[in-house]
Amino acid sequence: MIRIHQVLATLGYGDAIGHEAIAVQRVLKAAGYESEIFVETADRRLESLTIDYRHLVDFSHPDNLIVHHFSLGSKASRTAFALPDRMALIYHNITPPEYFTGVNRKLAAQCFRGRRELAAYASRCDLALGDSEFNRQDLERLGFPRTAVLPVVPDFSHLEREPNRFVADQFDDAWTNILFVGRVIASKKIEDLIRFFHAYHTIFNPRSRLLVVGASSGFERYLSALYDLAARLGNAHVYFTDHVSDEELVAYYDVADLFLCASEHEGFCVPLVEAFYKQVPVLAYAATAVPSTLDGAGVLYGDKDPFRVAALMDRIVSTCELQASIVRGQLEAVDRLRARDFDGTVRQFVDEILAAPRAPAPRVAFDFWHQFDAAEALEELRLDRPSLYKALPEEPDRGLSVDDAQFSHEG
């Protein structure tokens, strides 16, 4: 019996990749396949849905199919690569590492290595899927011979909850609320949002505030710089919420008058279509996958001059007829998105892969599995007998490593 399993670096709570992996598993099980999700790490709220990636070896069989979600290089990724199973890759894009230099050295290195590692899968995969046309084209540029698009179909059920009353009472007033939802990371260009908002607040509407809703874990240095920018501009009406619950998220969408996005790198950007669904007019920078995600709806801008963006913000917020027209177009885009047959598309791709000649067997280093076993043994010791590590001598300082040298300009 053919089994179809998924593997990914981490299953996060509330993120787009996690939603898609769970949706794919639902489709596969409904089609009669045995299907598990193997991960390196998982949010504690989702751990019960996953199996540690090291056990993938025990489930492996040449007739099976591994659906590999690739967003960063990882030990889970490399283990899946080395197995004899067929493989389909779902590519969620990798942010260019230069966005993270100086603010998150580790993530910059991971993105660099991930991009380099991805190229090795071109000959390994029976089919490579982008979750947007932008991502599919990226795969094509990297030399993947067989590519297609598995469209993201967002799950809006978390937006049907009752709004958090504290958030609603705090911000549902006569002031204009400019909203952004997404991780507080450098590629989202939150600093541009602050500059745009400052121009809008100063020139057009002093009774306005900017709400930045999203987690900043790992980017504390970037967040500190954003606080510093707002302080230097003398604007006390910029609010950072960090991670929020679904009920709080609903409340922020409910009080929002405009969704403003300045991000320069997106593989899809689910919050844009969440804003569509919640009937919040969207004004977004036309970069990477954003135009295709908007699908002709919302408003795009290509000039990051703060005054010009502020003028666009004012026109949308202050013109009821324009707002109604934008929202109407956005709801039509949501209808088109939801009409896509995600379940049927997944089943079709699976049937095509299983019926086609398979890609060549993976080529791995001769000692790969020896290193895998050694790493597993060391991890068991670390968990079961951590005191052993305290007995080891400290590693001598050998200066910069290759990876350190690669990113030494980060400061």
| Residuewise pLDDT in 10s, the chain (411 residues) | 899 999 999 998 777 888 899 999 999 999 999 999 999 999 899 999 999 999 999 999 999 999 999 987 788 988 999 999 999 999 999 999 999 988 888 888 888 888 888 988 999 999 999 989 999 999 999 999 999 999 887 789 899 999 999 999 999 999 999 999 999 999 999 999 999 999 999 999 999 999 999 999 889 999 999 999 999 999 999 999 999 999 999 999 999 999 999 999 999 999 999 999 999 999 999 999 999 999 999 999 999 999 999 999 999 999 999 999 999 999 999 999 999 999 999 999 999 999 999 888 888 777 766 676 777 777 777 667 666 666 666 666 554 443 443 333 333
Q: Is residue 396 part of a domain?
A: no
pLDDT score at 187:
96
**DSSP category for residue 32:** T
pLDDT score at 23:
92
Q: Is residue 394 part of a domain?
A: no
Amino acid, single-letter form, for residue 223: L
Regarding whether 117 and 177 lie in a shared domain, the answer is: no
- CATH number for the domain harbouring residue 63: 3.40.50.2000
Regarding whether 375 and 293 lie in a shared domain, the answer is: no
Q: Is residue 395 part of a domain?
A: no
126 close to 358: Cβ distance less than 8 angstroms = yes
pLDDT score at 285:
98
Sequence-ordered list of residues with C-beta below 8 angstroms from that of 306, at least 6 positions apart, any chain: 195, 196, 198, 199
pTM to 2 decimals?
A: 0.85
Strands 37-42 and 50-52: parallel
pLDDT score at 395:
62
pLDDT score at 390:
63
Instruction: Please give the C-alpha separations between residue 33 and each of 27, 44, 151, 153, 336, in angstroms, as whole numbers.
Output: 9, 26, 21, 22, 29
Regarding whether 128 and 208 lie in a shared domain, the answer is: no
Regarding whether 267 and 255 lie in a shared domain, the answer is: yes
Q: Is 112 exposed, middle or buried (0-12, 13-18, 19+ CB in 10 A)?
A: buried
**DSSP category for residue 180:** E
Regarding whether 375 and 231 lie in a shared domain, the answer is: no
Is 235 in a helix, a strand, or coil? coil
Tokens of 117: 């590692």
- Please state, in angstroms and rounded to a whole number, the distance separating the CA atoms of residues 83 and 337: 35
Q: Is residue 280 part of a domain?
A: yes
Regarding whether 171 and 89 lie in a shared domain, the answer is: no
Regarding whether 146 and 41 lie in a shared domain, the answer is: yes
Regarding whether 103 and 235 lie in a shared domain, the answer is: no
Give me the number of domains the chain comprises.
2
Point out the domain boundary residue: 281, 304, 339.
339
pLDDT score at 383:
67
| Residue in this structure with the two tokens 């998924």, named with its chain if needed | 6
Of 8, 1, 22, the residue nearest 342 (C-alpha): 22
pLDDT score at 105:
86
Would you say the C-alpha torsion 285, 288, 289, 291 has a positive or negative sign?
positive
Regarding whether 164 and 149 lie in a shared domain, the answer is: no
pLDDT score at 401:
41
Regarding whether 137 and 239 lie in a shared domain, the answer is: no
Regarding whether 299 and 238 lie in a shared domain, the answer is: yes
Regarding whether 335 and 347 lie in a shared domain, the answer is: no
Q: Is residue 410 part of a domain?
A: no
3-state helix, strand, coil in the chain (%, to 5): 50, 15, 35
pLDDT score at 408:
34
| Residue in this structure with the two tokens 């950072």, named with its chain if needed | 240
Q: Is residue 411 part of a domain?
A: no
Q: Is residue 405 part of a domain?
A: no
Q: Is residue 397 part of a domain?
A: no
224: containing domain: 159-339
